[in-house]
Structure 1
Amino acid sequence: MQNTINKPANIGTYHESDVLFLLKDLSDIQLEDSAVNRELQIQSGGHYSESLPIEYQPPKEYVDLFWKTLMEYKQKVAVCVGIVAEQIYQLKGKNAILVSLARAGTPVGILIKRYLKMRYNVSLPHYSISIIRDRGIDENALHYIIDKHPNGTIQFVDGWTGKGAISIELTNACQDFEQKYQIKLDDTLAVIADPGYCTTLYGTREDFLIPSACLNSTVSGLVSRTVLNDKYIGKDDFHGAKFYRDLFPDDVSNEFIDMISCEFPFIAEEAAEIASQMSQEKIETGFLGMEDVKRIQAEFAIESTHFIKPGVGETTRVLLRRVPWKILMRDPSSPFVKHILMLAEEKGVEVIPYPNLNYLCCGLIKSVKEKQE
């Protein structure tokens, strides 16, 4: 079966003891295209997963801001990681298998694994696999994990939520998987920050900056976004990704992990206490962020909600990888949006004060189809 063909890819700069990537190595294939060309293809019916954006290499001022932000908020990130890790351990114990959604979930999965090793001296398996909006999850990767760990319980992990598209994709994928294979998976997504109210398993619902959202592959093990293109991915293959070896000099992936991990001994009691309190509460989801999105869609006459990306993490991605149109900003004085203001100025993107927002900010993608017509 496919499991004899596939094995973890030897890609990325993370230690094997931290994560195994269930991805097909596409490093030798030219998949990158300019943001404008990709946007035109996506908006003309193509899919974002068929190609890759050119990796944005930020100026020194921006990297300096990353380090400054990390120094200021490393303890806050550590507490949020600890809270979600404690909840996972309460729910699933030593049988948990961490399955992070590449690529934003990968550093978070590593941090959760490191926290639980420090706190409970358990070393949970951790895999990074691909899920793609409108295309589903990598079922070959799931089969690999289930075959390796027949008694384990999968816990899906991501970085943060925006409007909840990936949470919904994951739920649908788990339902499909159960129908096809009679294997039931828990579709609850564990995240550091859930400003969109999309999951019950989170560290915080505050829309704050997770420093790993600031950079691309250089804080994600030099691994690209995941790719699902029929030219390169067969039906028995894992989804694909590239290893950007040429960016080694700029890689800060393990420094980021180590810096947050060093905080764990100091915040463990606080994290455990908050997690314990949360376990006594009835936590609702409600996908509140979609209310913001629908209002913005109507107000700015935007064709699709796919062009609206709420939250600090998603707004950052719009500026780093897409063709941005406008940035809506609830509070420009927030310390969590300094990098967004810097990127917007560099790229000449209008920032509009927009106080009536659940999130701190929201990125709007430009319709490039109209420009071509």
Structure 2
Amino acid sequence: MKKCIGACILFFAFMGAYAQALSDRATISVITCGPFQGELYSAFGHNAIRVYDPDQNIDAVFNYGVFDFDQPHFYLNFARGYLFYKLAAYDYRRFQSSYIYYNRFLHAQELNLTPEQKQKLFDYLMWNRKPENETYRYDYFYNNCATKIRDVVVTALGKDVTFDGSYIKTDYTIRQLTDLYLGHQPWGDLGIDICLGLPMDKKASPYEYMFLPDYIESGFDHATIQQNGTTVPLVKAKVNVYDARPEEIPGGLPHPLYVFGTLALLCIAITAWDFKRGKPSTWLDGTLLTVTGLLGFLLFFLWFFTDHQAAAKNFNLLWALPSNLVAAIALFRRPMWLKKYFLGLAILSALLLLTWPILPQQLHTSLIPIVIAILIRAFTQYKLWKK
């Protein structure tokens, strides 16, 4: 989904149309833009609304995926989950050319609206783009630049619009729906799975599928609208504005499973050497505890001190324990309680591995080698403990 664009330009011709009525030849379309694997945020695609009226010299796109880096306390608000996006309106051709440049498909669904319904929707969009109305509280899954398209149409046209989700036959969770788009971005997928907790593992309703642009498109395909007592399809016509060429997937780091698997094998080899010489490699354990402890503090912060609702109840805190950071510091003085801590850590890691498939939260499989490494090193410290 499109997270940020450059400066948004609204041409004077369109500004002049602010108070004008649309002509009979006006069309309003939902635009769906394909994914782009060059960036994590663009891997999901994007949606917007196009208003085209040749008689009024209007060809504008209404884009709910814009945010302002210059807003007060932007980075602090971003970290705390107070994300504010806004609606921007500007020349459609500029919007279209930017997506074609990055080889992202463009699909247009012309909405099957009466002149009165078109005017209602257009008036709402124009009201929404006023400075006092343009900002909205962003949520990754429930109020984003895709769901806003659906919600705007429902708000403007009311109960006349009905979305029928019976065409969806899958039973995906929100996490599984997200994973569908990140097959070529394994490290991004891993980061999302680590930072976001149990709320991502709820079964998504067909209506909730529409946090993804592709499901906005299919949702509108299966929607209907009332016109003079008659139910008609909401989409009048579909046009493939641009068909993307096969995308060359950019190279990157090796898959995290290979990286962490290699780390686990290294820990096993060092452990064998430690038992042979009768002394643990404390430098390795200190590093492992520090990294997982810092990550644990991050996950704890996201859960309890931010408004990122999807980061709550995170089961990754079972292996990324914030207390590991305290244990890493204590390694320098080796108090006696630390031996019991390592025993508890080894038991917790073993239980986590045994219950991995049945946990209510789906943990990323690439993390299994990390938990194995923690188990092995905690057991090593416990068995080879020396004051």
Q: Give TM-score scaled by structure 2 length.
A: 0.22
TM-score (norm 1): 0.22
Q: Which has the bigger relative contact order, CA under 8 A and spacing at least 6?
A: 1
- Higher CA-based Rg: 2
